[in-house]
Amino acid sequence: MTAFSDFCAVFFKKYFDLHPTEAVNYGVEGYDHLLNDYSDEAYGEEKGFAEESLKKLRQVSVKGLTRDETIDYALLEGRLTIENYEFNKEDYRLKWPELPLPIQHIYILTVRPTNDIIGNITSRLERSPAVINQGIANLSRPEANPPRLWSEMAIEAAKGGITFLCDLPNHPKVKQALKDPLRFKAALEKSKRVIDDFREFLERDLLPRSHGTYAVGEEHYHLLLKKRHFLNQDAQGLLAMGESLFDQTKKELAALTEEIAPGKSIEDLALKIQENHPPSDGLLPAYKKAMEAARKFVGEKRLVSFPLREDL
């Protein structure tokens, strides 16, 4: 065990304690019955943990790490650097109105392995009202100002969430495992009511004052380029590269168009190509043929390998 391995063991245990809904995505057991806590106390603990973790990680030497560990170190250091910047910049609870909705955290239990599907879903349903009320309290603050589009998306997510919960009792896995329908139904109905209350709050209260922007700003954007995407370019360099590639591609398209259809514009030729379309009953065979050709090309060029059991 290296010092970095020891750090990761401690870090991820605490991380999942603070973010239990993320554990299932990593195959970590023991958190499937929980939802995240969006109280001020939990937020303060989360912020302090990110700050302390970055300090401790930077004290870990990268000497002697394997290639994979070195990559993991860079990824984790970049993530924590961004998290600390964002914690100091703004309170994410006041900008993401969809955050308190539990639907995705209930849905995931129907498609991922879980030790007790009914018990864990019921537990998350029973915890949903408290979490949604935390969301309403946070988003009721005067400084809460999400982009209007995000508030609109949260409203639609709430509506869709109620529809999902209405259909949940008919899910095959739920029907097969359900042993205590009374407790399950009570939790389900209460969650539906609270989600509808949240939807009403979003429409009546939050949406009219949603004037925020999702543009992060130059400094934040540069940090994302460097620490999340590991690019050396800044925003201007990336823009210049994109414009250069655009101009080059357009010239190549114009040359190819002249070769295929002399005198035609790129737009005219594109419209002509669109006329070459299979009938509805030939869509699947045409798609399969194109995918087989793409697969053959990728295989011949050895761009990627294919799983042994992969079948088109």
Average pLDDT over residues 60-84: 97
CA distance 246 to 60: 43
- In this predicted structure, what is the pLDDT of residue 312? 56
- In this predicted structure, what is the pLDDT of residue 205? 98
- In this predicted structure, what is the pLDDT of residue 276? 85
Of the candidate ranges 48-62, 232-246, 262-276, 298-312, the one whose mean pLDDT is the lowest: 298-312
Average pLDDT over residues 68-84: 98
Query: Is the pLDDT reported for residue 112 higher than 90?
Result: yes
> Residue 67 — pLDDT band, cuts 50, 70, 90?
very high
Mean pLDDT computed over every residue of the chain: 95
What's the N-to-C CA distance of the chain in angstroms? 42
Query: Is the pLDDT reported for residue 83 higher than 90?
Result: yes
> Residue 310 — pLDDT band, cuts 50, 70, 90?
low
